[in-house]
Structure 1
Amino acid sequence: MDKRANPAPGFQRNPDKVITIEPYRGAVTVRAGETVIARSTRARLLSEPPYTAVFYIPFDDIDFSKLARAEHSTHCPYKGNASYWSVLPAGESGKDAMWAYEQPFDEMTEIRDHGAFYTGKVTIEATPS
């Protein structure tokens, strides 16, 4: 029996589900128009086929003064409950543009205190080093 405090039920039900998290070697910048929302050289790249890979940026590298916490939330059986933020400089198109797993399942602790952004709501520039 799994004795971890917060195990992911999805991993127990589907051992074939493969999610990888790797450090991104380079810089990631998130913008709304000309306004920089986040800039990091410590981003992590989460791959979860068949979905497109996603950058997770440390909270310390995100300008939360340009965000507003949203009421929207979702649940992933592999990562946990996601909270959302709207990107204020993006206006209506920035609604719920960033999400984060503040209390992820034990298998996903590498993305705790990291936020990810929808590519259709902001511009994400990744420059490999």
Structure 2
Amino acid sequence: MVRDGDRVVVGSRGPPVLYESGFAPRRYVPRQDVDRSALTPAEGRTFCPYKGMASYYEIGSARRVAWSYEDAWDEVRRISVMVSFEPDEIQVDLDGVRQSLDPGQGVVSHGADRNLDPDEEAAHGRPA
């Protein structure tokens, strides 16, 4: 469950988990389980060499706390119809336990994973 104060943003059960080396496991919930009226598109996108281009969302006063890969690479195509949430920025509970990141599991923007301007974004294509 994801909450913004008293507002329930997601009431999904058993969302799949995506594991990546060096990062915290991320749960992705189906878009149909998300109150889309709670999501406001945020500026900027980032590129992940494993998943593709990420779009971000704001929820209430929390900035860039949700993201999606609307056209994820074929290897992770399943997450194209899903949204993930940052548990250190918005309340994310799993089986009644509040989620948080362990030290060192946050993502730091750098190199190709930084925010891209439109010209840079257009230059990034799918890997061969």
User: Does the pair score TM above 0.5?
Assistant: yes
> Which residue in 2 is equivalent to 1:95?
63
> Which residue in 1 is equivalent to 2:55?
83
SS of the equivalent of 2:95 reads strand
The answer to which structure has the higher strand fraction is 1
Provide the C-alpha distance between the structure 1 equivalents of 2:14 and 2:81, rounded to a whole number of angstroms: 12
Match of 1:116 among 69, 84, 88: 84
Tell which has more relative contact order, 1 or 2 (C-alpha 8 A, sep 6+): 1
Counterpart contact for 1:72–1:96, Cα < 8 Å = no
| One-letter identity of the residue aligned with 2:10 | A
Match of 2:23 among 30, 37, 51: 51
Provide the C-alpha distance between the structure 2 equivalents of 1:118 and 1:49, rounded to a whole number of angstroms: 17
TM-score (norm 2): 0.71
Runs (5+) with no aligned partner, structure 2? 97-128
Provide the C-alpha distance between the structure 1 equivalents of 2:14 and 2:45, rounded to a whole number of angstroms: 25
**Pairwise CA RMSD of aligned residues?**
1.3
How many residue pairs were aligned? 96
Q: Tell me which moved more, 41-50 or 59-68.
A: 41-50
Kindly, what percent of the aligned residue pairs are identical? Answer: 32
SS of the equivalent of 1:65 reads helix
Q: Deviations over 1:98-120 (max 9, x none)?
A: 00000000001111110001111
Give runs of ≥4 in structure 1 deviating > 4 Å.
Answer: none
Runs (5+) with no aligned partner, structure 1? 1-28
1:42 to partner: Cα distance: 4.7
